[in-house]
Structure 1
Amino acid sequence: MENKTLDHTLQGAPLWLTNFVLVYQKLSKENLQLLATIYHENVTFIDPLHTVEGFDDLYQYFENLYQNLSACDFVIEEVIWQDSQASLFWTMTYQHPKLNKGKMVTVVGTSHIKGEGDKVIYHRDFLDLGAMLYEQLPILGKLTKWIKTKAAN
């Protein structure tokens, strides 16, 4: 792990959490098989787009997500954990040829995860879907940004 602060935060953390952080910070479409080392076969995964039950469906979901990405990088900046639960605060940077004119997109989010044994059995992501997806589309992006501006004023 590169983040010295994160190393200190994970000192004494359970194996499922340490492994999760290590894998996510190096995850790519070339090494999706690493997901099997961190997720329980009965995992529940929830994000703003889908709810997925079971490892096989989760793996398929990740395969589909990563399929068209040119790049995807997670930096986990902070971890708060107690017993079998943790909250992770992260920044995802990704590149998709059809979004944001093919330029990099940065999204900040959090995850609530729960461990069972040495793997994660529950994973829920919280993020701004507008910033991740809608704002990156030509017409919908302008509309989404306009709505956010109007709502803030």
Structure 2
Amino acid sequence: MDNSATHQSLDTQGGYPGWLNNFVEVYQQLSTDNLDLLERIYHSDVLFEDPMHKVHGYQNLNQYFAALYSNLSACTFRINEVIPGDEQAAIYWQMQFAHPKLNGGDPVSVDGHSHIKQAQGKVIYHRDYLDVGAMLYEHIPVVGRIIKAIKQRAGQ
């Protein structure tokens, strides 16, 4: 898997507000080697939350992404669905990434969604919802087997 962006056919000109078009377009291009694109879409006072972290301010968000991406050999997003609004939106996506210490370095795919809100034409609030177990824990050798066994047992 390379660091090139994954483009997909979601029509971002389908009547979305400009801030939302920008967000979707950037995330469909985003990869490990072009994190500078984030400045186009995030407000300087952005609040970003995911299941593992909460960061406030664009500079902190940029540092957070840089640290995350520095350990990855690849990371791309495919936007599957957008539920648009003038001031906020829901984005459903699939992230595919490769990390040398997870899943034997092979790509891992994780489905998730984001709730975003805008101010002054940029995203000021971004919260990601995803299964951290599917993203990380299931791909760590010993821990992964335990997590999968627990999930299997819970499903009985």
Deviation for aligned residue 1:80: 0.3
Matched, 1:122 2:125: yes
| CA–CA separation in structure 2 for the residues paired with 1:35 and 1:55 | 9
Q: 1:107 aligns with which of 76, 85, 110?
A: 110
Query: Unaligned stretches of 5+ in structure 2?
Result: 1-6
Matched, 1:138 2:141: yes
- Greater share of helix: 1
What RMSD in Å do the two structures reach over aligned CA positions? 1.1
| CA–CA separation in structure 1 for the residues paired with 2:154 and 2:62 | 37
Query: Unaligned stretches of 5+ in structure 1?
Result: none
Q: 2:11 aligns with which of 7, 10, 13?
A: 7
Residue in 2 aligned with 1:55?
Answer: 58
Residue in 1 aligned with 2:150?
Answer: 147
> Any idea what SS the aligned residue of 2:45 has?
strand
How many matched pairs?
Answer: 150
Query: How much identity, in percent, do the aligned residues show?
Result: 55
> Any idea what SS the aligned residue of 2:16 has?
coil
Q: 2:11 corresponds to which letter in structure 1? A: D
| CA–CA separation in structure 2 for the residues paired with 1:101 and 1:24 | 26
Q: 2:23 aligns with which of 20, 23, 26?
A: 20
| CA–CA separation in structure 1 for the residues paired with 2:108 and 2:33 | 20
Q: 1:79 aligns with which of 55, 79, 82?
A: 82
Q: TM-score, normalised by structure 1?
A: 0.94
